[in-house]
Amino acid sequence: MTWPGIIERYRAHLPVTRKTPVVTLLEGNTPLLHSPALSERAGRGIAVYLKCEGLNPTGSFKDRGMTLAISKAVEAGSVAVLCASTGNTSASASAYAARAGLRSIVLIPSGAIALGKLSQALIHNASVAAVDANFDACLAIARSMAQQHRVTLVNSVNPHRIEGQKTCAFEICDVLGRAPDLHLTPVGNAGNITAQWKGYTEYFRLRKISRLPVMLGFQAQGAAPLVLGRIIKQPHTVATAIRIGNPASWQGAVTAAAQSHGGIRAVTDREILHAYRLLAREDGVFAEPASAASVAGLLKLAGQGFFKRVKRPAGRPLTIVCILTGHGLKDPERAVKSVRAPALLAPSISAICKAVGLR
């Protein structure tokens, strides 16, 4: 069977009827990739998997929520959608809106979104407003605009986004045959951790899984309101997708962490960029910096001996899933900046062999 997209695959679990027009780019069904390198770094008897959400149609998990948000907007007779975005929401909204024949309007914090994401919104013909303000201010403006005009807000404050994004948890359980023991995920506006926890708890209630995972969310140190317990006015981090100081789904994240006996923690930009390079070098996986926050968290916890203190399941490895939220190609400038740039060489075989270490 070819994959039909998340709405058809998980129709019974989503707020759709036969009348809902399904707007899909065949999102979902992303790889759950075992990582031998990270498993070894995490410790003996641990199996680490990477949920590669960058392989969604527009390159991030946002597509799971957007297919539903846009389908419901069309069903409701909307002609235009609006979002504030650190980049990936605008990329996804503009692509799904194009597919549905809707107008899209996106508010982006000027100078603070990765080039790949901006290029997506532009080529999908969104009306792009580059605003001289950070994401939190852009979202506040978008919320007011949605109240005053006939446009549908498709940020994760739109409950259909959360509904669609919970399918990430369904897929993980369907592939593993159970929930992972620990679920590690980057946290920005906190819609995703809220959605993932909703997915697990729904599967648990339906008895599709018999145990729930421990949820561990990771924010960047300079943008860690949930860790500090207060709004950050000027959040800063290289991981632009999670540069958010006042998460809209604050309560959802706190609930997921508390109910699952997990937590929300901070990782530094240094740790994020280390994990970012490690993923690319040792696993062949190119994820964007924000995505690497989950792996940075994994490495940090391993270094603190955290996994030694976790209760081990009998007869199988401790299973950890790290969510990689978006694709590395979204932000090629960051990749090039993170490594040594190649020197310009004369077209001479000997000079080139010397430079690349062949002799």
Ligand X SMILES: *Cc1c(COP(=O)(O)O)cnc(C)c1O
Instruction: Find the part of the chain contacting ligand X (CB under 6 A) among 33-41, 42-50, 181-189, 344-352.
Output: 181-189
| CB-nearer residue toward ligand X: 47 or 275 | 275
**Residues 6 or more apart in contact with residue 196 via CB below 8 angstroms:** 165, 166, 168, 169, 183, 185, 215, 256, 323
Per CB under 6 A, the list member of 35, 71, 158, 189 interacting with ligand X is 189
Tell which residue, 19, 33, 88, has the closest CA to residue 289. Answer: 88
Neighbour count for residue 337 (Cβ, 10 Å):
11
The CA distance from 334 to 99, in Å, is: 30
**Among residue numbers 280 through 309, which ones bind ligand X (CB under 6 A)?**
288, 290-291
| CB-nearer residue toward ligand X: 296 or 318 | 296
For residue 16, the minimal CB distance to ligand X (Å) is 22
**Counting contacts by CB under 6 A, is residue 191 touching ligand X?**
yes
**Counting contacts by CB under 6 A, is residue 241 touching ligand X?**
yes
Neighbour count for residue 148 (Cβ, 10 Å):
7
**Counting contacts by CB under 6 A, is residue 109 touching ligand X?**
no
Binding mask 264-283 for ligand X (x = CB under 6 A): --------------------
**Residues 6 or more apart in contact with residue 226 via CB below 8 angstroms:** 187, 190, 217, 219, 247, 250, 253, 254, 264
| CB-nearer residue toward ligand X: 192 or 221 | 192
The CA distance from 171 to 209, in Å, is: 12
Instruction: Find the part of the chain contacting ligand X (CB under 6 A) among 120-128, 180-188, 230-238, 338-346.
Output: 180-188
**Counting contacts by CB under 6 A, is residue 187 touching ligand X?**
yes
Size of interface with ligand X, in residues (CB under 6 A): 18
The CA distance from 354 to 359, in Å, is: 7
| CB-nearer residue toward ligand X: 318 or 324 | 324
**Counting contacts by CB under 6 A, is residue 116 touching ligand X?**
no
Tell which residue, 289, 228, 245, 249, has the closest CA to residue 135. Answer: 245
Binding mask 34-73 for ligand X (x = CB under 6 A): --------------------------x-x-----------
